[in-house]
Chains A and B, each alone.
Chain A
Amino acid sequence: MSLLNVTGLGITFGGLKAVDDVSFAVKPGEIVSVIGPNGAGKTTLFNMISGVYMPGRGKVELDGQDVTGTPPHLLARMGLSRTFQNLQIFQDMTVLDNVLAGYHLQESGSILADLLSLPGMHRRAAKARDGAMGLLTRVRLDKAASQEAGSLSYGALKRLEIARALALNTRILLLDEPAAGCNAVETEEIDHLIAELAASGIAILLVEHDMKLVMRISNHIVVLDHGEKIAEGDPATVSRDPQVIAAYLGAEETEAADADG
């Protein structure tokens, strides 16, 4: 039984089909990667699944329930969580507060309790704080907990974003280029973290440019080009697919041509 089902999803920007008729499914504990050349529509696909964009066509189902176009904060309640390609960190908040924000659904209660600093609020906050510290330890940021998030290095921010995304009772996690801009050591850490998360039963949907990482950890790969799905299968099958090779080589040729011109 799949946790996430995407059927015939598509969206058009200014007459241009950014994503067209894409379908796939993700099961609990499975790592599914979406790959493709730049501009293939991967992030747009993520934005539609996570409710940031309203899809023009098609359907997104979570647990068999139609959630097409459901706003992100309601998807979060159903256990769908994500990170962003271009980091969306709460810069002016502390590292700990960033993760605590991820506990919003679990720790928030009445506004009156918050204004009056009632014991109930402290109880909820303390529980969230323990959980958040646990997550920070897991991504090795526990020592930086009281620092302002804006002062962290790029790689650390990437991990912070994952920790924040895990703070919900996450059942499916969408990771948009978690290893981009990270060095080899950091990439390996993220690699381990993703494998661990999948082993604990969380479904992972991954967009990543680091092909070695993708081939190593994915159970299943979906290949997009010009907004359309051109291939799908296990890493070995996909990497031998002539269309996939053509898409990547073609992309490289165009990029080379662009560089010359």
Chain B
Amino acid sequence: MSEAQTLFKVTIDNITVEVPAGTSILNAARKIGGEVTPPAMCYYSKLQGSGGKCRTCLVEVAAGSTADPRPMPKLVASCRTNVMDGMIVKSITSEKVLDARKGVVEFLLINHPLDCPICDQAGECHLQDLSYEHGAESTRYEFQRRTFPKHDIGPYIQLHMTRCILCYRCVYVADQLTNKREHGILDRGDHSEIATYIHKALDNDFIGNVIDVCPVGALTDRTFRFKNRVWFLKPVEAHRDCGKCCGRVTLWYRGDEVFRVTARKDEWGEVEDTPDGKPGWICNVCRFEKKETKDWVIEGVRHVNRHSVISAGHYNTLEVPKETIQDVMHGRNPKLLMDIHEVSDVNKPEIHLSEIPGPAHSDNFDNNKPA
């Protein structure tokens, strides 16, 4: 169709970009990139039908199009509004938008427990970034926050319903990636919650991807639970031959141990495309069961945005620094040398946290203690 080739000129925050007809404002802004791009908590470009729920991507349309240059009366959700030729959009240049985002963050945080110190998502949480950039410093909410009875949704995935912002991304993953949807949203309004019907275990091969799409810490990796903070781990790109998925992952190392396996995420926090243009979803086997270096072909250190706390470790090479003591001492060994592992209880070489299936408990450390 000729319509697919028509390019629309759209101006976002005084930057003009040409996009094909039918592109949403959000995707046009993502083409420009940087601060102009509205944040998105529920929209996920790889999931059909996502978006339109969280309202964080609200923008002001100052002129609808060249044909009809009237401004739109209200702020619009940029993930669900398509561009028109000659449209002028204001994102961060609009007072109204920034104020609306602040309001949206406040609403999203009303029932959010803010238990970031114990949440495994902290450091890579979109809600954390969003509230840090756009939110208020403190809460005005004085009432009891929403709580839920705990649901056990299987050995691999941990559900924290209190942290959920109801973005529906995980429901779309279950719908579109797996052949059988077993979890969805129960109840309505303030009571609605993500759950599996009659506590059914989610045993689809691709269900682990709900962890990657979850913008908050509501769905986290149980095999990684409480093992370490993401910013102490070293992200390394690796791949393996997998019959079910693309096998292209990020391994998260602590020393020589693989603590966690995730899909590779792009700058918008979405799963990266594989070279053949398909989204790089990974299967449960890759994610949960291959936690040894020998299972993988290492490609190199994953580049992390320097504004992310994950880059605090400054890992940019895989090489281990050379031991220089012998050189400095002309081949002699020092008379007194304290090996930190002899004294320290943390990161004991003989305790392999990555081999414990779930979170570590007090007995893990006792049983593994050398006599």
Do A and B pair up? The answer is: no
Query: Which residues of A are interface residues toward B (Cβ below 8 A)?
Result: none
Query: Which residues of B are interface residues toward A (Cβ below 8 A)?
Result: none
